């Protein structure tokens, strides 16, 4: 029986089959998981450090940090405390941030929706790619470019339009001004922000609209719909919550924008609801404005203001993300 003998000699021991990951895989997964946790760690660290540094001011001012309109640091130039107590309140700045961001959304979102509809349903194929490229390029423009351009180019013509609005629509309280000073107003800051959020809102609206089920579009046409009735009956209802999410994402961007707003906004520490008047507020601009010559205590107040801005934009962004992802998933 030579065959059996041979087999006994050469048969290899079978590999142990297991579902357990190898050591190399364990290391790989651990390393990748650590890397993936970075976003969680960074977000938590931002909240913790800003909260830690700003805690003293937040605890002292309490709720009036958010509702108060006064920002007064009573530290003298030689570092000693002044006679009046320091007061830190970002109420006016918060209101200003929300007003400018809302103006930006009110102007930018309709334009973005129209642009997205045009790119998806109206644009000739030959120029569609080019136009999408132009919008994407605009998203890559640095914010200081918008600041410089907004200050030098947009502000003069923005002032002209503000005067026109005031002249013909001044009877609406929103467009009224108490003194005829139209330069560096929330309206102009809102215009700059509107231009800055157009690319992101357009690209989200475009993505949401392109998820519209084709059979529904064709069904609408088959029933004799014109292009517009098709859009109104199929595309807009389908994309509604996604577009709202995109608008909120734009709102978040507009709230956190710093440099571009700083160059075109006159910062005044009072609540101003006359959007054409050259007096406004913005939390991010406040931080830039005060940071240069701030005392140690005022820096802490600025950190607290930064924390408020962070939390505000985080909440807006998370809501926006939920709305967008819901629509996009629904289409697939």
Q: Which stretch binds other proteins (CB under 8 A): 1-9, 41-49, 80-88, 176-184?
A: 41-49
Indicate the residue among 43 and 172 with the shorter CB distance to other proteins. Answer: 43
Q: For the segment 103-142, give every residue that binds other proteins (CB under 8 A).
A: 110-112, 114-115, 117-119, 122-123, 131, 133-138, 140-142
Determine, following the binding rule CB under 8 A, whether residue 288 of this chain makes contact with other proteins.
yes
Determine, following the binding rule CB under 8 A, whether residue 205 of this chain makes contact with other proteins.
no
**Cα dihedral across residues 177, 180, 185, 191: positive or negative:** positive
**CA 192 vs CA 21, 25, 266, 285, 323: distances in Å:** 54, 50, 14, 14, 26
Determine, following the binding rule CB under 8 A, whether residue 184 of this chain makes contact with other proteins.
no
Indicate the residue among 95 and 201 with the shorter CB distance to other proteins. Answer: 201
Please state the φ and ψ torsions of residue 87, each to the nearest 5 degrees: -130, 130
Q: Which stretch binds other proteins (CB under 8 A): 163-171, 180-188, 207-215, 271-279?
A: 163-171
**CA 178 vs CA 133, 160, 171, 271: distances in Å:** 43, 17, 12, 13
Q: For the segment 46-65, give every residue that binds other proteins (CB under 8 A).
A: 46, 49-50, 52-53
- Residue choice 1, 4, 36, 126 for contact with other proteins (CB under 8 A): 36
Determine, following the binding rule CB under 8 A, whether residue 245 of this chain makes contact with other proteins.
no
In the beta sheet, which residues pair with residue 72?
A: 87
Give the integer Cα–Cα distance in Å for 198 and 108: 6
Give the interface size with other proteins as a residue count (CB under 8 A): 96
- Count Cβ neighbours within 10 Å for each residue of 205-228 and write b for 16 or more, e otherwise: bbbbbebbeeeebeebeeeebeee
Q: For the segment 67-106, give every residue that binds other proteins (CB under 8 A).
A: none
Determine, following the binding rule CB under 8 A, whether residue 289 of this chain makes contact with other proteins.
no
Q: Which stretch binds other proteins (CB under 8 A): 2-10, 36-44, 62-70, 264-272?
A: 36-44
Residue 96 CA from chain centroid, whole number? 16
Tell me 212's DSSP state.
S
């Amino acid at each position: 029986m030579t065959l059996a003998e041979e087999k006994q000699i050469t048969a290899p021991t079978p590999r142990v089959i297991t579902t357990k990951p190898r050591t190399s895989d364990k290391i790989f997964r651990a390393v990748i998981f650590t890397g993936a946790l970075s976003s969680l760690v960074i977000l938590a660290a931002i909240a913790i450090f800003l909260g830690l540094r700003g805690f003293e001011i937040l605890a002292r001012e309490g709720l009036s940090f958010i509702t108060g309109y006064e920002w007064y640091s009573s530290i003298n130039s030689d570092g000693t405390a002044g006679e009046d107590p320091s007061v830190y309140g970002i109420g006016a700045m918060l209101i200003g941030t929300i007003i400018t961001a809302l103006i930006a959304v009110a102007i930018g979102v309709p334009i973005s929706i129209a642009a997205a509809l045009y790119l998806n349903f109206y644009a000739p194929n030959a120029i569609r790619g080019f136009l999408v490229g132009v919008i994407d390029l605009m998203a890559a423009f640095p914010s200081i470019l918008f600041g410089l351009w907004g200050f030098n180019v947009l502000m003069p013509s923005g002032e002209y339009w503000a005067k026109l609005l005031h002249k013909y629509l001044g009877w609406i309280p929103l467009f009224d001004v108490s003194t005829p000073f139209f330069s560096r107003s929330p309206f102009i800051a809102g215009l700059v922000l509107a231009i800055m959020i157009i690319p992101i809102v357009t690209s989200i609206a475009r993505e949401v609209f392109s998820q519209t089920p084709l059979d529904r579009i064709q069904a609408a046409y088959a029933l004799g719909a014109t292009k517009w009735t098709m859009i109104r009956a199929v595309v807009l209802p389908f994309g509604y919550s996604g577009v709202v999410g995109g608008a909120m994402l734009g709102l978040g961007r507009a709230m956190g924008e710093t440099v571009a707003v700083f160059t075109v906004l006159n910062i005044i520490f009072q609540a101003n609801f006359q959007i054409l008047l050259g007096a406004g507020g913005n939390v991010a601009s406040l931080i830039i404005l005060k940071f240069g010559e701030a005392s140690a205590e005022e820096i802490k107040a600025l950190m607290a203001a930064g924390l408020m801005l962070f939390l505000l934009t985080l909440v807006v962004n998370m809501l926006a993300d939920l709305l967008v992802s819901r629509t996009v998933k629904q289409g697939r």
